[in-house]
Amino acid sequence: MIDKQISSPAEAVRDVFDGATVMVGGFGEAGSPIELIHALIDQGSKDLTIVSNNTGSGEVGLAALLKAGRVRKFICSFPRTANSTVFPELYRAGKCELELVPQGTLAERIRAGGAGIPAFYTPSAVGTPLAEGKESREFDGREYVMEHGLKADFAFVKGRSADTYGNVVYNKTARNFGPIMAMAAKVSIVQVESVVEPGGIDPESVVSPGIFVSRVVEVAEPAHESELIAAGVSYP
């Protein structure tokens, strides 16, 4: 008997510890696991390293976690967006460290972390400030930089549906970083709109096979960042 379903977001994020590295899926609001992030705010752990493509908007989701002073370091490709003021303020005040990584390198580092690849070479960022201090090497006459795989203690991911074995499917461009973050974390927590029995998802269409997923939690009607912001919500 295998059942990875957890009763609530609070229960699902219960064991996140101070100093943990947490990968958080999403590209802008698409795929942002807001309910898991809010549960983490309630849960209280601090000194977190967050790996996520953006730093959140308004004062909900990732921006609210930042505002609550719980993030020591952010690993990210694009830490500013239209409605983002929380991260810029913390960053300028020296209260949150930033590791800026090109988006494709970030994705590949996460995938490598999950795939047992400690390092790889990429042409991205060669000759730019983001390659400074990094080892570089020529292959076939072209220069590449060496990048390291990235792993995490936890991943927070938003899917569309999952079965109790942890197989997950996603919704449109909300898929983005979810499948690779689920691979790269020791404990992968996926919130979905519905949890079904094994057999309820076509094995040909599974995007994240259950082996990459530790816990699934049902959030039947997940909030969208833009709607919360439009409604003036500031979490908590």
Partner 1 sequence: MSESMTQRVGWTREQMAQRVAQDIENGSYVNLGIGIPELVAKFVPEGRTLIYHTENGLLGMGPSPEEGEGDPELINAGKKQVSAIPGAAYFHHADSFSMIRGGHLDLCVLGALQVAQNGDLANWSTGEEGAIPAVGGAMDLVAGVKKIYVITQHTTKTGEPKLVESCTYPLTGLGVVTRVYTDLAVIDVTPDGFRLVELTPGADFAYVQERTGAQLLPLSH
Tell me: does residue 164 bind partner 1 (CB under 8 A): yes
d(CA 178, CA 226): 20
- CA angle, residues 192, 198, 201, in degrees to nearest 5: 60
Q: Which helix (H) or strand (E) holds 50?
A: strand 48-51
Smallest gap from Cβ 95 to a second copy, in A, equals 30
Smallest gap from Cβ 150 to a second copy, in A, equals 13
* Residue 11 contacts which entry, partner 1, a second copy, none (Cβ below 5-8 A, type-dependent): none
Q: Calculate the CA 8 to chain-centre distance.
A: 19
Distances (CA, A) of 47 to 3, 97, 153, 169, 217: 31, 11, 13, 31, 25
**Residues in 41-60 that interact with partner 1 by CB under 8 A:** 53
Contact 47, 18 (CB under 8 A): yes
Tell me: does residue 212 bind partner 1 (CB under 8 A): yes
* Residue 139 contacts which entry, a second copy, partner 1, none (Cβ below 5-8 A, type-dependent): a second copy
Tell me: does residue 170 bind partner 1 (CB under 8 A): yes
**Residues in 142-161 that interact with a second copy by CB under 8 A:** 142, 144, 148
Tell me: does residue 202 bind a second copy (CB under 8 A): yes
d(CA 57, CA 99): 19
Smallest gap from Cβ 216 to partner 1, in A, equals 12
Longest dimension (CA), the chain: 55
Taking CB under 8 A as the criterion, the residue among 5, 43, 122, 194 binding partner 1 is 122
Nearest CA-CA partner of 12 in 34, 33, 31, 36: 36
Smallest gap from Cβ 211 to a second copy, in A, equals 15
Contact 153, 21 (CB under 8 A): yes
**Residues in 77-106 that interact with partner 1 by CB under 8 A:** 77-82, 87-88, 91-92, 98, 100-106
Tell me: does residue 115 bind a second copy (CB under 8 A): yes
The residues of the shown chain that bind a second copy, judged by CB under 8 A, are 108, 112, 115-123, 139-140, 142, 144, 148, 169-170, 172, 202, 204-205, 207
